[in-house]
Amino acid sequence: MPMQKSLLKISTLFVFIFLSQLKLSVAQTVDLPVGFSPEELQEMQRPGFAEPAYEAKSSFTTPPAGPLRTMGQWEEIQALTITWTSYQSVLREIVRAARLETQVYIICGTACSGSTDSTSVKSYLTAGSVPLTNVHYIYAPCNSVWMRDYGQNSVYMNDVDSLILVDWKYNRPTRTKDDTVPRSIARRLNIPIYETIGANQLINTGGNWICDGLGTSFHSKLIVNENPTLTVPQIDTILSDFMGITRSIKMDTLPYDGIHHLDMHMKLLNEETLLVGQYPAGVADGPQIEANLAYVLANYNSAFGTPYKVIRIPQPPDQLNGYTYPDNGGNYLTYTNATIINKTVIIPQYYMQYDTTALRIWRDAMPGYNVVGINSNITIAASGSLHCITHSVGVTDPLLIVHQNLPNTTNTTTPYQVDARIQHRTGIQTATLYYTTDTALVSYTAVGMTLTNATLNTWTGFIPAQAAGTHVYYYIKAHANSGKEQVRPMPAPRANFEFDVLGTAGIADLTADHFSMNPAYPNPSHGITCIPVSLGKSTKGSIKLYDMLGNLVSVIYEGEMPSGDKNYFLNSVALNIRAGAYLISLETTEGRCTQKLMVR
């Protein structure tokens, strides 16, 4: 009997220790931040710590056959993927919005959070009145909720042919389960997966990855710092070999963003439009963000060969920490950390006084999309938000439509040419241009487009010339030989491309051979506006902003103006310019010309 009691005590003690360790492990698993946790840092500093072996199973580690094209995040997706670990109230709201647009795949199981399986996930969703239609479950191991950083990337062979997934090595060596999640998704969806490990090892995270869908990627220099054994050309070669990246733009890291991920302050909305976070002058990471943005604008054009369009959105203070910014202990609140899910955009929300402005900016920037706000106060305390905890899988049958929005124009006599790159693996049967000047958007005129460059897959249509003062809305629709259909913008006709036919406010422009100011963009504007000027010869001059009563609002530039083409910039947010109508005036010794600018 004493022996039995001793064995019972030992067994009880063993179970207690096991459960305690399990509880600790689960707690660490569920609550891991985007960056390293204190426990992970301690483990990595332990003498003898060796990074766990990472073996490729059911994947390829040599580059796929090219040519390759990494998709843009605004393209059509077949699935949104999340891991059911921390912040389940936020995950539930993501599922609520996403399941209406695409299939949702949830990584769940005891290996993820210690007690979560598909039954408990279903129960939690149902308790929150979220229907289970289009929701699927994958039982697979994982460590954390930060799917964006360790998740799969959608890449197409031959632009629009076979879909493959590409997975980098995750920059969290203690989270080996996370690094296997893309394999589990690839197996479930039956998509080949390629991994940058072994001889082609590249460490990278999805939060530090922005791609334009046409071969350009953006990163902070974290991608360089975390690959010390690789030169920058070697990094670029791996990105080219595995993802078809031909131009990798790298910016300085920010002093107060501990994870150095671009999605905390920057996002591409389409091939040429950057949404960039903005702090008050001199606050937190504001100076470095402005310097990085100036560097990009001065050295790189969009894939269309024109300057990037820029929309600014505030980086709000942290109300829970006394309205402080990251340089004074506040959390890194951001509205750029959003996810585009086909025709819906989910954006983080924090406090109404800032959220209403952010929602307006997003809805103005992506008219026609369903913009859904989700409270993200609990995730942002761990340095991440909605983009950080979601990822996506592109469709296996994409119909690609690439088009540069026509700029505002003063042309009232000749038709407006609309060119679009349109591709599908079976070929394009028809392409149609739809346009209207009806502000109610209820009556569109259809114009057939013709293939004008088979090598570049360019289709062309024309909108008839319109009178000055007309606002033109238009979109493009294509049918593939297979029967697949697609429109661009994706929510069309609820969403449109649009431009204005401008007048000159009664002041005659000088001849274009000597003196011209091309349409400023974006217009309407909120933040940085580009003002293209073309001069036949060098001269002294100025560019000024006036209100509609003729009062001077701001001197945009004054001094020597070189001959040729040059862009000048106005930042309406930095100058606290109120919403309304204004005139931009180019004034030189040769004369004066003006154009109208709308500030949102």
Model pLDDT for residues 278-299, shown as the tens digit of each residue: 999 999 999 999 999 999 998 9
Q: Where are the alpha helices (DSSP H) in 496-574?
A: none
Is the CA virtual torsion 225, 230, 232, 235 positive or negative? negative
Three-state secondary structure readout of 396-463: CCCCEEECCCCCCECCCCCCEEEEEEEECCCCEEEEEEEEECCCCCCCCEEEEEEEEECCCCEEEEEE
Query: For 417-444, what is the mean pLDDT?
Result: 96
Rounded Cα distance between 381 and 396, Å, is 36
Mean pLDDT of 346-371: 95
pTM: 0.79
Q: Residue 41's pLDDT is what? A: 56
Selecting from 2.60.40.10, 3.40.50.300, 3.90.70.10, 1.20.140.10, what CATH number does the domain 400-500 have? 2.60.40.10
Give pLDDT, residue 560. 86
Q: Please state whether the peptide bond connecting residue 367 to the residue before it is cis, i.e. omega within 30 degrees of 0.
A: no
At 86, list the tokens.
């921390």
Q: What is the pLDDT at residue 549? A: 72
Return phi, psi of residue 134, to 5°: 70, 15
Q: Could you give the CA distance from residue 476 to residue 416 in angstroms, rounded to a whole number?
A: 14
- CA dist 543 and 595 (Å) reads 11
Spans of all domains in the chain: 68-394, 400-500, 515-599
Report which of 305, 293, 232 is spatially closest to residue 265, judged by C-alpha positions: 293
The mean pLDDT value for 55-63 works out to 71
pLDDT of residue 507: 35
Cα angle, residue 513 at apex, residues 507 and 515 outer, rounded to 5°: 45
Answer whether 500's CB lies under 8 Å from 486's CB.
no
| More confidently predicted of 273 and 506 | 273
pLDDT of residue 3: 42
pLDDT tens, position by position, 520-531: 887 888 778 889
CB atoms within 10 A of CB 514: 15
Neighbours of 411 (CB within 10 A): 14
Is residue 118 predicted with pLDDT exceeding 80? Answer: yes
Fold match between domain 400-500 and domain 515-599: yes
Q: How far apart are CA 168 and CA 25, in angstroms?
A: 25
Q: Average pLDDT over the chain, rounded to whole?
A: 88
Segment 511-525 mean pLDDT: 73
Residue with tokens 């950057």: 274
Supply the pLDDT for residue 520. Answer: 86
Contact 514/534 with Cβ under 8 angstroms? no
- Rounded-to-integer distance, Cα 496 and Cα 487, Å: 10
Q: Does domain 68-394 correspond to CATH entry 2.40.40.20?
A: no
- Residue-level pLDDT at 414: 94
Question: Residue 572: pLDDT above 90?
Answer: no
**CA torsion sign, 229 to 230 to 232 to 238?**
negative
Task: Domain 515-599: give its CATH code.
Answer: 2.60.40.3880
